[in-house]
Amino acid sequence: MRLTIRDIQKMKTAGERIAMLTAYDATSAYLSEAAGAPMLLVGDSMGMVIQGHDSTIPVTLDHIIYHSGIVVRATQRALVVGDMPFMTYKANVEQAMGNAARLMQEAGVSAVKLEGGEYIAPTIDRIVQAGIPVMAHIGLTPQSVNQFGGFRVQGKDKDTAEQLMCDAQAVQDAGAFAVVLELVPAPLAQEITKSLKIPTIGIGAGPHCSGQVQVFHDLLGLYPSFGPRHAKQYANVGEVIQTALASYVREVQSGDFPTAENSSSMSEEILAEIRGRWH
């Protein structure tokens, strides 16, 4: 049975840390759920690690719906959250509700994620009132990276720190079941976590959040040209894969692959008939 937002919220109450991973296809979804991750995020980070862009901006709602549907089909227990991409929820509330509904109906996700704090809280409230669970996202919001001037830590001075506290309270009051804190100083993330009833999910926000979320490719070394400080590489799977593929290429070029073990045989009598007809 698939976990619900209540199960995730109970994890915070029980003091159980929440390990969340991104997933974009059947392989990453299956492996992440098998590893025990209770929540999977089909993130617009796919723009960088799957599509090869330098930001999340080019990702469309259709992209998220397509990949989210795959992740949902490949899992049975994990709560699957689908990202709302750039400018799919900020024009007006009606746009946001319509696009969130598409993500739920067409992909089958259990919740959607929106970036923004106080200013997006009324939209979160309307979506939640419509029966769609929402995960909020404050701090460094990647869809606003051009406005921030790059991937920079947020909330280091008094004014921005207080604004993040207000943002966190606003999204909780609007009905968000959890909130992602991205690139927030660890002490501030700790204060936000203490002040909220809902779980905080950190990424580059220190060890005191209710849980953590990391990009699948970063943890496994599958995207070697990008290694953010907040990520930890638990295995260099990319190097293993590259070595294996290079061995395949060499064996094809040398004629060592395929061998008889990789091939099928047939009746010599039938083969003789074929030869007689065509030669």
Query: Could you give the CA distance from residue 101 to residue 103 in angstroms, rounded to a whole number?
Result: 5
- Helix (H) or strand (E) holding 83, with range, is strand 79-83
CB 135 within 8 A of CB 177: yes
Query: Could you give the CA distance from residue 148 to residue 156 in angstroms, rounded to a whole number?
Result: 14
Q: Annotated catalytic residue: which of 182, 191, 251, 273? A: 182
Query: Could you give the CA distance from residue 199 to residue 201 in angstroms, rounded to a whole number?
Result: 6
Query: Could you give the CA distance from residue 245 to residue 61 in angstroms, rounded to a whole number?
Result: 33
Lookup: tokens for 45: 């980070």
DSSP string for residues in 113-167: EEEBSGGGHHHHHHHHHTT--EEEEEES-GGGHHHHTSS-----SHHHHHHHHHH
Is 182 labeled as catalytic in the residue annotation?
yes
Query: Could you give the CA distance from residue 136 to residue 40 in angstroms, rounded to a whole number?
Result: 15
Task: Report the sign of the C-alpha dihedral through residues 159, 83, 205, 127, in that order.
Answer: positive
Distances (CA, A) of 262 to 212, 258, 259: 44, 6, 5
CB 195 within 8 A of CB 168: yes
Catalytic positions: 182
